[in-house]
Every structure is written in structure tokens, then in C-alpha cells.
A = this chain, B = another copy of it.
Amino acid sequence: MKTLPKLLAGLGLIAITAPWGAFSSDDINQKVAEQLAQKALSSPLGYDIVESLTVEVGPRLAGSVQDKVAVDWAIAKLQSLGFDRVYKEPVTVPVWHRGIAKASIVSPFPQPMVLTALGGSVATPPEGLNAAIVRFDNLKDLQKAEAGILEGKIAFIDAKTERHRDGNGYGQTASGRSSGAIAAAEKGAVGIIIRSIGTDHDRMAHTGMMRYKEGVTAIPAAAISNPDADLINAMLKRDREVVISLELGSERRGETTSYNVIAEVKGSTKADEIVLIGAHLDSWDEGTGAIDDGAGVAIVTAAAKHILDLQQKPARTIRVVLYAAEELGLLGGKTYAKAHEAELEKHYIAAESDFGAGPIYQIDWRVADAAHMPLVSAMKVAGTLGVAAGNNKASGGPDVSMLPALGVPVASLRQDGTDYFDYHHTPNDTLDKINPEALAQNVAVYAQFAWMVANSDVELRPLPPKE
């Protein structure tokens, strides 16, 4: 983001002095979009929002007491910003309590390990587990292993997550976290540990959601830090049998109600049509949820607020949705899609910000083929912010990922996630990891995006069939 001050200066050079009447409506929208960027880049609003959320609420695991605090915080924050309508909608969420997590290498060389329970894991027996581990390069190798090979053992998935700007390394290893316990239990394992799904080399473990399957024993599941995974490998080089002890006190405690929190900037001529920009309000419980997803909350809220503050109204309604329980399986997103089923045809387009606070470098779409180029053309305005045209294969972000199948167009405002998986789902997800300038660029691009699509005359449907 070293280029932002330059961009800001560049925008200053093209500030609007001519009267509105001298422009076509497209021209006017572009000029307003430029104004929005100027405002967003010079405003502390986005940073103030994520600072407020991380300091005044902090960790807010869906279903926890702090999750309720976060919902109240969000309602109050959105109301104080003066949105046209602020409301919440119930979402049923599981209650999971992390409890203690302890592990150590018992032999050949006794050493403590740093680990974290995976979200949703069951506990070990109170006395803990004590078993040899069987190492696999990845989930696939575990799934291919012969039946019974893990009888009484603890599986160890040792897949390293690669660093990429678009975060695709995560896509390649996260399945080991989500599905590893099922595959391991099917082969007789009493527990599973995975190398943290993270690109860092901090001695800090990365949590994240995991699943069980009916009919397959639910076994305890945890992630160890990358240096601990290295340590196990060094021991396996010396001795084929590495025995570890594992103690998890995690507990599933039924269900409770959380909320999607929603705010709107009411549209003028097409008020019943919705441009949805979302983020998720919940976080994991070990950091303060700054990059995941306090940043997203700040980005979409500040973007909408800058539009709210314009003299002009957008044609369509801009709806900010702060989803509940994304981390526990997109529960807020799924509940929203169901609750708003009848209204989905009025959703012009949807996008979620949920990839930290790195600068946006590209916008991808999932719209009618004929609509793609006109949208690319409209969003050329973001070029001065460093944003390039993208493809027409967007998913839109986790909580809106189910919408294209229901006919709703989506966009992905792609953020630079080079460092995202260094901190993701760890205690290290704290405010200091957010670059205020990069965050402001995100706000600027989201404001431009929301403004341009809210006023667009392009027909975005029907979506092309999924490839």
C-alpha cells in the first residue's frame, strides 16, 4: 500500500468542479465514485470501526456471551452512524466451549507442544489420550491408507500451507482440518492432530471448524503449530515411533440464538432492489477477530456510511449484512438465504468482505455473460486505486457463496492475502495486523462498487451455468 498517498494525490487532480448537469448519468456516477474514494481514503472511519470492535468486544465466538455483546455493539454502532434502517434476524448456532488443550511428545524425546482444539471437537477422555502417531502427507493419503492402520493410534496430517496472494494454499489444505477426523476415525484412530493451516512459522496453532459424520466415531481433533510439526518430523527421522499425549476439554453445549445484524441505505428509484455487501460479525475466540473479520465489518460498514453521507441517494437499496456464525459453517449466510428466499430475486448483486485488510487488487464477477464487460467498464473507476478487471467466476465470499445457485449475481473484491494465513484463526489476529491505509483502500473500493452497481442499468441475470 505504499502507493496510496500517490493515488490520493492523483484523485485530487481530477476533483469535480463542473456542474452535475453537464454529465450523462454514467459520467455522474463515475464522478460520485471518485468523490467516494477521496472521502474513504482520507477518513479514519473504517479503522475506527475495527478498533472499536476489537477493543470493546474482542473475541466473539458464535454462541458465546461475547457474541451477544458483539450483536449489541453492532446494533448500537450502526444506529449511531444513522443508517436508514437497522435490525437483526435470528440465527440458530451451536454452543461450543473450547476448554483446556494440552499436548506433549512422550517419546522418543519428551517435549511440550503448542496446540489448539479444532472448532467443534469433542473432548478426550478426562485422563487424556496417549498413543503413537501415524503421519500422512495430506488428507488424501490418509483416506487412501489401508483400513485399520490407525487402530488405537493418533493420525497426524502434515500438509504445509503455501503462501499465495489469493490464498489458494488454504484451499489445498483446509480439507484436512474439516474432514480429517472422519477419515481418521474410519480407519480406527482415537484422535487426530494436524499441522496448522497457516503460512507462518510462529509457535502458535491455527484453529478452525471441523466436522463429524453420523455413524463414524467422533474423535478429538487439534492443530499443532508449524514448529511443533517440524519437531515431530525431526523425531520421526530418528525413530519410527513417536508417542504423544493429548488432552482436550472441549464441549458441545447445545444451541442458542445469535443474530445477523443488518443496516440499510435506502434506495431512491429502485428501493426494493438490494445491493448486499456483507462481512461476518463472529470470530474465533483466541484473537480479537481483527483481520477475520473485524476488517470486513469495518470495510462494508464504512463504505455504506460514505454513501449514506452523499447528497445523492443510490437508486437501489444498499444493505449491509453482518453475518452470524460464519466460522461455525456459514450459519448466518445460510439462514439469511432461507429467511430472504422470497426476496432473493430482488437481490441485484451480493459481495462479502472476509479476507483480512490487504488491498483489493481485482474484482471478479458472477453475472450474465453479457453483463460482465459493462460492469468491468463501470468499475474502471477503481483503476486509480490499483484494482484490475477480473473474471466472471466469482464465488462472492463465504456467506454469499450459496446465492449464485439461487440465481443471485455476486462479486468478489479480491484482497491481497499474502500474509492473511500467518495470523488467521490464531491469537495473533489482533488490530496491529491491520494497515490503516490498506483498510481505507478497501473501504474506497467497496464504496465505489456499491455505488456503481446500485445505480447500474445493466441486467445481471440469468447467471451462466457453473463450469
Which A residues form the contact surface with B (CB < 8 A)? 51, 54-59, 66, 109-112, 114, 201-204, 226-227, 230-231, 234-235, 238, 287-288, 426-428, 430-433
B432 touches A234 (CB 8 A): no
Query: Given B111, B288, B430, which contacts A288 in the complex, CB threshold below 8 Å?
Result: B111
| Distance in angstroms between the alpha carbons of A38 and B201 in the assembled complex | 31
A201 in contact with B432 given A55-B231, A55-B234, A55-B235 (CB within 8 Å): yes
- Inter-chain contact B109/A227, CB cutoff 8 Å: no
- Of the A-B pairs whose beta carbons lie under 8 Å apart in the complex, a sample of 11, sorted by A's number, is A54-B231, A55-B231, A55-B234, A58-B110, A111-B288, A114-B427, A201-B432, A202-B204, A227-B432, A231-B288, A234-B431
Query: When the two chains form the complex, which single residue of B54, B111, B433 contacts A59, counting CB atoms closer than 8 Å?
Result: B111
Q: Are A58 and B111 in contact (CB under 8 A)?
A: yes
* A428-B59 CB under 8 A given contacts A231-B288, A288-B111: no
Of B57, B204, B230, which one neighbours A432 at CB under 8 angstroms?
Answer: B230
Nearest first, the 5 A-B pairs at minimum CB distance are A227-B430, A58-B111, A203-B427, A55-B234, A201-B432
Tell me, in angstroms, the Cα distance from A21 to B66 when the chains sit together.
80
A227-B432, A431-B227 known; A109+B202 contact, CB < 8 A: no
A114 to chain B: which residues have CB within 8 Å? 427
Chain B residues positioned under 8 Å from A54 (CB to CB): 231
User: Nearest Cβ in chain B — how far from A453, in angstroms?
Assistant: 35
Residues of B within 8 A of A234 (CB): 51, 55, 431
- In the complex formed, the residue of B with least CB distance to A234 is B55
Output the residue of A111, A235, A431 with the most chain B CB within 10 A. A111
